[in-house]
Amino acid sequence: MTENRSRSRRVLGVSLILVAIVLCFFTPFLWIVSNSFKPQLTIFADVTPLSWKTFLPVHPVLENYRTLFARTNILHALLNTAIVSAAQVALTLVLCSMAAYALTRIRFRGSKVVFALILLTFLLPVEAMLVPLYQVVSGLGLDNTLLGVMIPWIASPFGLFLLKQSFEELPRDLEDAARIDGAGHLRTFVSVILPNVKVPLLTLGLVTFLFSWNSFLWPLVIAQAPEIQLIQVAIAQQGSPTQLPNWGETFAGATVATLPLILLFLLLQKYFTQGMAMSGIKG
Amino acid sequence: MSATFEQTSSDMAGLAPDRRRRRRRDTATALAFLAPFLLLLLIFQYLPLAMMAKNSVLDYSLLNPHAAKFVGLRNFTDMLDYEDMRESLAATFLFALGVVVIVIPLGFALALFLNSKLRARGLVRTIIMLPVVTSAVVVATMWNFLLDPSNGLLNGVITALGLPRQPFLTSPDQALLMVSIMTAWQQVGFAAILFLGGLQGVPNELAEAARIDGATKRQVLWNITIPLLSRTTLFVVVIMTVFSLQAFAPAFLMTDGGPRDSTNLIVYHIYKTAFVMQNAGYASALSLVLLVIVLGISLLQMWILRARWNY
């Protein structure tokens, strides 16, 4: 009898925690998305008093999305961001895997110095480098170009560490066999090593995509021209509640900017979480 | 790693010519593989680093960087003379403290939840990771509207509970706290994932043995699990601190650093100084101070963790 009661109390406790977690972390998203399908006045009317209508569009309209795409450059910004993110992922994977190969699979003098040089940059706070980086990139004539947005981050120390770790775990026999067959380093790298590190490559690709898609401060200073604006900057310029007459349109923008990432996350959650956890494991 | 390195250099002298040639070829190959990475690293990490140091003793604007004037250490003495740096640093550290104080216990609790055998843990993990993958801009926008004094959701909830409306971001007493809460809300899932990694590394036998000896669940938690996770905890504290010290979007999008400079986070202050007020020399000096602080925290963490490693 008492055991039963303590069990049902436990179930109740766990359920309460679950409800609290959903309320705390999920309802803000629900509120934003459902309000993006409501006219402004309905949004305001539905907040007080609070009811289920606050979180569901009873008569959904597409007006906000229509004006968003018609009046702003958001579609263009989405396209720019997709290009930058895809290119950044591709180039990061190429550069980091090549460097990781050299540091783990080729014996050469000075490899420790090189590694220390890279390790040091891992500790540098990115946002503190803003001003001189702006001068370097604009000095190269790359301001207001999509290349300028991504090029400083391609040689990613995090990416190198992640790949270096997984390269080190591969057995030596793997490439010894290829060596005996007369394969050089380039062929060993492409046809022996790379096919065996698909998961780390995918993980790094996803984390890179996440950071690239979400980055804000750097695109804000280096890509100001409207035609090369990125999505986060475009969203940010839609303004605050007091400036902007239309909340629904801002919510529609936030939804459009977030949806691709959320979908990708839901699809490949395991690798995403792994990558995020890896970005922690360096101590 | 170090053993092989010493070994190879010590038998260099006795190498046959063709082996030496192979070694030279290997070095060339390695450099070819590394060249693109190292080139970009030099241009986009080391060059800016050197420029930051150089520019911190100049007086110039980004609109016309060639008309720079050497001013010695004046940018740094200005920092001590004016209030802006001290106030901005104080706000930033208070903000980081708020984030850490909220994130650590909640992230740990969520990790315990995720580490249990509950059926809902997959759902919980997905839900708490949603804010982590959402951009700082979208989160700030979302909270801007959640916190809106007249039509925001939070005041809707508060009035539904029969409590008085709150000013939130428009109040100098509440703005920084709200921004801390928002950032903690966004990062707590990340902290939980890191803690979960630590929890999964704790050997089960210890807890089981203690349970057999009659320890309660709470005693196991406080006397075994938490002390064993001190490395992870320090690590999460450092990550969250370093992350918070570099926060920008909240100040830019939600408060403009106000009210009354109460949320003038240091990176926002640097941004405004360099790109709005066009005082890039002073901004470089501010950046250098931030860099030293963050590097100091990271190195301190490495040093502490290393000391623990050797016991």
User: Omega of the bond prior to A49 within 30 degrees of 0, cis?
Assistant: yes
- The C-alpha of B228 sits at a distance from chain A's nearest C-alpha, in angstroms, of 15
B120-172 pLDDT tens trace:
888 999 999 999 999 999 999 999 989 988 888 899 889 889 899 999 998 99
At residue B8, the pLDDT reads 45
At residue A55, the pLDDT reads 86
A182-234 pLDDT tens trace:
888 888 898 888 999 999 999 999 999 999 999 999 999 999 898 999 999 99
CA gyration radius, chain B: 26
- Above 60 in pLDDT, residue B72? yes
A43 and A35 Cβ atoms separated by less than 8 Å: yes
Q: With CB atoms and an 8 Å threshold, state whether B62 touches A14.
A: no
Residues β-bridged to residue B69: B59
- Above 70 in pLDDT, residue B307? no
B191 and B99 Cβ atoms separated by less than 8 Å: no
Residue A246 φ/ψ region, left for φ over 0, alpha for ψ in the -120 to 50 degree band, beta for the rest:
beta
At residue B14, the pLDDT reads 54
At residue B293, the pLDDT reads 96
Percent of chain B with pLDDT over 70: 93
Q: What's this model's pTM, rounded to 2 decimal places?
A: 0.90
Q: Which residue has the higher pLDDT, A142 or A7?
A: A142
Q: Cα–Cα distance between A19 and B135 in angstroms, integer?
A: 25
- Above 60 in pLDDT, residue A283? no
B45 and B52 Cβ atoms separated by less than 8 Å: no
Q: With CB atoms and an 8 Å threshold, state whether A95 touches B275.
A: no
- The C-alpha of A130 sits at a distance from chain B's nearest C-alpha, in angstroms, of 8
B179-218 pLDDT tens trace:
999 999 999 999 999 999 899 888 888 888 888 888 888 8
Tell me what the mean pLDDT of segment B250-274 comes to: 93
Q: Hey, what CATH class is B93-309 in?
A: mainly alpha
Q: Of A3-12, A108-117, B122-131, B239-248, where does mean pLDDT reach its minimum?
A: A3-12
Judged by DSSP in three states, A52 sits in helix
- The C-alpha of A10 sits at a distance from chain B's nearest C-alpha, in angstroms, of 12
- Domain ranges in chain B are 93-309
Percent of chain A with pLDDT over 70: 95
At residue B10, the pLDDT reads 44
Nearest to A118 among B41, B48, B287 (CB): B41
A59-72 pLDDT tens trace:
889 999 998 998 88
Nearest to A99 among B34, B141, B189 (CB): B34
Contacts of B38 in chain A (CB under 8 A): 99, 114, 117, 155
- Above 90 in pLDDT, residue B220? no
- Average pLDDT of the residues of chain B: 88
**So what's the ipTM on this one?**
0.91
DSSP characters over A145-201: SHHHHHGGGSS-HHHHHHHHHHHHHS-THHHHHHHHTT--HHHIIIIIIGGG-HHHH
Nearest to B284 among A132, A217, A273 (CB): A132
Judged by DSSP in three states, B60 sits in strand
Residue among A282, A53, A135, A241 at smallest CA distance from B254: A241
A4-42 pLDDT tens trace:
778 888 888 888 989 999 999 999 999 999 999 998 888
- Above 70 in pLDDT, residue A281? no
Residue B168 φ/ψ region, left for φ over 0, alpha for ψ in the -120 to 50 degree band, beta for the rest:
left
Nearest to A98 among B37, B55, B141 (CB): B37
B115 and B124 Cβ atoms separated by less than 8 Å: no
Q: With CB atoms and an 8 Å threshold, state whether A132 touches B38.
A: no
Q: With CB atoms and an 8 Å threshold, state whether A189 touches B283.
A: no
H/E stretch holding B93: helix B84-115
- Above 50 in pLDDT, residue A242? yes
Contacts of B30 in chain A (CB under 8 A): 102, 106, 108, 111
- The C-alpha of B209 sits at a distance from chain A's nearest C-alpha, in angstroms, of 24
- Residue B273 is given by DSSP the state I
A152 and A218 Cβ atoms separated by less than 8 Å: yes
H/E stretch holding B59: strand B58-61
